[in-house]
Amino acid sequence: MQMSTGSKKRTIEQLAATVSDSTDFPDIDTAPGLRTLDTALRCPICCELFSGPVTLRCGHCFCSLCIRGSLAQKQECPSCRKGEENEGHLRVNPVVEEAVEAWSKARPFILQLLHRGGRLSGSNSSSESGPSNKRKRSNPDSDSDIELVAPPSGHKTGIGSGTVFSKPQEPMLAASPAETPCPVCGKTVKHEIINQHLDSGCKTFHLNNSKTAWSKIMGPRVDPGKNKQTQAKGKERSLSVEGEALPKVSYDTLKDKQIKQLLQDQGLATLGNRALCIARHQKWVMLWNSNLDKAPKNRKSKSQLRSDLDQWLQEKHESKSKVVVEDTFGHQKKYESEFKRLTEEARPKKAVSSQLSDSREATSSEAKYTDATSSTSSPVKLLSQSPQSPHHDGDNNEIEVL
Amino acid sequence: MASISARRLAKELHEIQTEGCPVGINLLQADDFAAWQFTIEVMGESLYQGEVFTLLFRFDKHYPISSPAVQFVVTDGKTSPVHPHVYSNGHICASILGNEWSPVLSVIAVCLTLQSMLASCKKKERPPDNDRYVRHAPDNPKKTQFHYDGNSP
């Protein structure tokens, strides 16, 4: 027992030391904005950098998987509690996803710079934390000034006016000099025929031109991406990329067989009882749909999702069985008298079940709790049919008990 | 790859260790991802001046989607504060621990809420149904369905 708590303590300390969070960065006085930036790019639910960020109607952003899990419990925004939200209201947020992708690359780099700066000034006495911190920051700053700021400024002077340096880039990116975007319909048209195009009411395109124009717009985006995916990851990958969102299922209306069919359709195991099958399918829908909220290149393959599901099921199973193994007999003995008292108390209440009281609720819910910790203890076996949801389903159970 | 709840708790613990707790709150014990203990006292002028209480957090594997079970420790000579929303067995009737829980809340956020709940107390008294509740209360306060009557701070 002591050993296990000791090792537990070690794992928690290890994990606490290895997980990345905003406090990796120095505080606001030392490095303004860095910590806030890191926090801003983290999901408030899991505190990890956003994975498949989605926004609700109120504008708050979460990982797709996290918010789906939260909405399954309660249909409101966890941040502002605006109600009546459901999964249909989720909108993918590709801008945040891009920002996170960039930040996850920049993060170690910046930390390294900070670290290097810290070590340079770190030889000073530690009591002088103020000034040493300042130097810590100024060092990497000056580094980054050279490395990061210099290129755009060179760019600026090279191209010209300089005040707005996104402008000179635009014509270069948008179209070759032979083509111009039509001021009316916005499509790219060859320069020589722009008048003809306008005269016809934006209807005529030179056949060749329109084709090349479209391939210019669509081509480079679609083709290389597709090729890369199909070549690099094979069938599985393209399957997951092209998949469609799975609809929510109202399991109550389905028979066991139909639920198993649903699982089979997804290529999932159909082992276990009805509750387990439902849980498996629910989680799969969540994993699948949240995966689709990511940019295609960030998506997981179907087999990866499957192993995620397996891991989730295993964790679920583990956390259940662990408690049972530890507790069964000791627990039963320890609470034997209490169990008896509870069953005794529960019985006569049948007659006065209309009486609404805290105590009644408490009684049944205690029985439920003990059941959750040791499913084999007999006095509370009656209750074990109820789905194990920790949330206030006390009322339902009472009906079963009484 | 640790589970989401373990990683999330590890992050919270890491932040507590690097940043420290808010004034009046101290981490007493966090040996695993199942139960943590904090000491809590109300700073400044209040009815609870000089009293230090111990809070017990219990987490399940669904944290932070599901709320932690939070109560005051009443064993080993420790007592729960006398407060209209705190039962003598340490159970707390606070909506954010029940149906008002949100996964964006954290352990520290709960501590702060409870601290302010104590700080704003006008009269030291037990809840009216204290005796009846305590007699039958479940071990885990999450198994109780409290009725929040809206006058809680």
pLDDT band per the 50, 70, 90 thresholds, residue A7: low
Q: Are residues A42 and A115 in the same domain?
A: yes
Average pLDDT value for residue range A101-108 = 91
Q: Are residues A249 and A386 in the same domain?
A: no
Q: Are residues A226 and A314 in the same domain?
A: yes
Other C-beta atoms lying within 10 Å of the C-beta of residue B11: 22
Determine the Cα–Cα distance for residues A183 and A217; give it in Å rounded to an integer.
17
What's the pTM value of the predicted model, to 2 decimals? 0.61
Determine the Cα–Cα distance for residues A209 and B107; give it in Å rounded to an integer.
63
* B122 vs A358: which has the higher pLDDT: B122
* pLDDT on residue A327: 59
- Which of A291, A320, A349 delimits the end of a domain? A320
* pLDDT on residue A222: 43
- Which of A286, A320, A354 delimits the end of a domain? A320
Determine the Cα–Cα distance for residues A109 and A24; give it in Å rounded to an integer.
13
DSSP-based three-state secondary structure for B80: coil
End-to-end CA distance of chain B: 39
* pLDDT on residue A205: 59
In-domain check, residue A88? no
Residue with the two structure tokens 């109202």: A250
Q: What is the CATH number of the domain that holds B130?
A: 3.10.110.10
The answer to whether residues B95 and B148 touch, using CB atoms and an 8 Å cutoff, is yes
Structural domain span for residue A392: 328-400
Backbone angles phi, psi at A216, to 5 degrees: -65, -40
In-domain check, residue A277? yes
In-domain check, residue B93? yes
In-domain check, residue B97? yes
**CB nearest to B104's CB, from A78, A345, A390:** A78
Q: How many domains does chain B have?
A: 1
Judged by a CB distance cut-off of 8 A, whether residue B43 touches chain A is: no
In-domain check, residue A311? yes
- Which chain B positions have a beta carbon within 8 Å of A48's beta carbon? 7
* A398 vs B45: which has the higher pLDDT: B45
Say if the Cβ atoms of A12 and B11 lie within 8 Å. Answer: no
The answer to whether residues A226 and A242 touch, using CB atoms and an 8 Å cutoff, is no
By C-alpha distance, which of B72, B56, B49, B68 is closest to B121? B49
Determine the Cα–Cα distance for residues A175 and A165; give it in Å rounded to an integer.
18
Tens-place pLDDT, residues A290-340: 999 888 888 888 888 998 898 888 877 776 555 544 556 777 777 788 888
Q: Are residues A284 and A143 in the same domain?
A: no
Average pLDDT value for residue range A256-284 = 88
In-domain check, residue B147? no
Rounded average pLDDT per 10-residue block, chain B, 153 residues: 81 88 90 90 88 92 90 89 91 89 93 92 90 87 75 47
Structural domain span for residue B52: 4-140
Q: Are residues A152 and A253 in the same domain?
A: no
ipTM of the complex: 0.83
Q: Are residues A222 and A314 in the same domain?
A: yes
Show the DSSP H helices in A206-301 as ranges: 207-242, 256-265, 274-292
- Which chain A positions have a beta carbon within 8 Å of B144's beta carbon? 358, 361-362, 365, 394
Q: How many domains does chain A have?
A: 4
Q: Are residues A45 and A126 in the same domain?
A: yes
In-domain check, residue A5? no
The structure tokens listed for A385 are 């049919």
In-domain check, residue A76? no
In-domain check, residue A57? no
Tell me: pLDDT of A243 over 60.
yes
- Which chain B positions have a beta carbon within 8 Å of A368's beta carbon? 138, 143
* Mean of per-residue pLDDT scores for chain A: 67
* pLDDT on residue A352: 53
Q: Just list the catalytic residues of B.
A: 93
